[in-house]
């Protein structure tokens, strides 16, 4: 096998691997077929390399150059990526995730600083987004609203009951924008700086 033909097979195989890796993002139902094509392309690339080595081994050792070392390093990198992908594990289909019965989060809204987490239960991530209007004349800032984004660690069995309140600032009015078994979005228009805010979701009365 000539080097040009082996290189052509390697390039085609690499292009097929890229396509097989991207395809499941557009067509998730074909993930198993994309995996088969990916590994088949890997086999073709390795097979062409071994075939070329078998035909040219005698003269190869006398012609090793830095370019060959670079090619060898790239091949090792591709093998490492393939090995890493093959080691990923996914939950089996039909295996239900653990279900929780409640969510609790307490935040202290520090003035001119990021909120401080005081306590949490069944919270995977939380984020806050503060919106302000800036007066271009004097540079003063005016609070427009603050959004709270909560992502739950385990899905809730039910979201029948929820409560968002502030024990330190009882006049704050919170508005629920979205609530499902995995997340919650809350908005408050008044400035919550200096307030302690409690988020509670449960399948039982709170």
* Reported confidence tier of residue 184, pLDDT bands at 50, 70, 90: very high
Which pLDDT score, from 0 to 100, does residue 55 have? 58
Q: Which pLDDT belongs to residue 61? A: 47
Q: Alpha-carbon distance 75 to 168, whole Å?
A: 61
Whether pLDDT at 6 is above 50: yes
pLDDT of residue 93: 54
Residue 151 has pLDDT above 70, yes or no: yes
Q: What does the pLDDT average to over 38-58? A: 66
- Residues 6+ positions from 186 with CB-CB distance below 8 Å: 147, 148, 150, 164, 174, 175, 176, 177, 199
The pLDDT score that the predictor gives to residue 12 is 73
Q: Summarize pLDDT for 90-137 with one digit per residue, the tens.
A: 545 555 567 889 999 999 999 989 999 999 999 999 999 999 999 988
Which H or E run contains 74? helix 66-86
Considering only CA atoms, which of 134, 164, 171 is closest in space to residue 148?
164
The lowest-confidence range among 29-33, 73-77, 168-172 is: 73-77
How many CB atoms are closer than 10 A to CB 138? 6
Report pTM: 0.53
Angle at 176 between CA 171 and CA 181, to 5 degrees: 135
């Amino acid at each position: 096998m000539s080097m040009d033909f082996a290189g052509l097979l390697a390039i085609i195989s690499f292009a097929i691997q890229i396509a097989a890796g991207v395809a499941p993002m557009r067509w998730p139902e074909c993930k198993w077929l994309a995996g088969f094509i990916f590994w088949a392309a890997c086999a073709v690339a390795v097979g062409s390399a071994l075939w070329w080595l078998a035909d040219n081994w005698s003269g190869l050792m006398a012609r090793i150059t830095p370019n060959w070392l670079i090619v060898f390093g790239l091949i090792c990198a591709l093998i490492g990526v393939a090995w890493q992908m093959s080691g990923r594990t996914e939950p089996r289909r039909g295996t239900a995730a653990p279900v929780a019965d409640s969510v609790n989060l307490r935040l202290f809204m520090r003035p001119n600083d990021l909120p401080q987490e005081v306590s949490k239960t069944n919270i995977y991530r939380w984020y806050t987004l503060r919106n302000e209007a800036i007066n271009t004349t004097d540079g003063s800032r005016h609070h427009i609203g603050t959004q709270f984004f909560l992502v739950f660690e385990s899905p809730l069995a039910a979201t029948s009951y929820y409560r968002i309140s502030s024990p330190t600032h009882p006049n704050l009015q919170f508005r629920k924008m979205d609530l499902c078994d995995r997340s919650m979005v809350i908005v408050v228009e008044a400035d919550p700086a200096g307030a302690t805010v409690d988020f509670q979701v449960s399948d039982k009365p709170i």
